[in-house]
């Protein structure tokens, strides 16, 4: 379960919030894993913990992808502006 907790922390560190559905799923599955551990359903606990980790990693990837897309859009607009300025100087 430690890997799941670390994956959740990492996702939050890059900016994932409860608005990211996968993060919310990861948190819910980790809670279920903890509940399974208390009821000694160890196989179910391990499965839920693994699912939680994967959901958290997906949430992290989605946030990083969105940030990259935003940076790309910003850079593209700067390039377009520079091209326009260069075109006006000719």
Burial-class residue 54 by CB neighbours within 10 Å (0-12, 13-18, 19+): middle
* Residues 27-66 pLDDT 10s: 999 999 999 999 999 999 999 999 999 999 999 999 999 9
Q: What tokens were used for 90?
A: 């000719």
Q: What tokens were used for 21?
A: 């559905």
What is the per-residue pLDDT for 49? 98
* Residues 71-87 pLDDT 10s: 999 999 999 999 999 98
Q: Does domain 2-89 have CATH number 3.30.930.10?
A: no
Read off the pTM: 0.85
Q: How far apart are CA 76 and CA 49, in angstroms?
A: 40
Alpha carbon 77 to its chain's center: 26
Where along the chain do its domains lie?
2-89
User: Which residues touch 22 (CB under 8 Å, ≥6 apart)?
Assistant: 16, 55, 56, 58, 59, 62
Q: How many CB atoms lie within 10 A of CB 30?
A: 23
């Amino acid at each position: 379960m430690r890997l799941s907790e670390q994956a959740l922390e990492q996702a939050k560190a890059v900016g994932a919030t409860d608005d990211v559905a996968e993060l919310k799923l990861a948190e819910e599955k980790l809670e279920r894993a903890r509940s399974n551990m208390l009821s000694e359903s160890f196989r179910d606990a391990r499965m839920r913990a693994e699912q939680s980790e994967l959901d958290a990693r997906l949430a992290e990837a989605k946030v990083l992808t969105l940030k990259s897309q935003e940076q790309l859009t910003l850079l593209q607009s700067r390039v377009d502006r520079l091209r326009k300025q260069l075109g006006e100087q000719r």
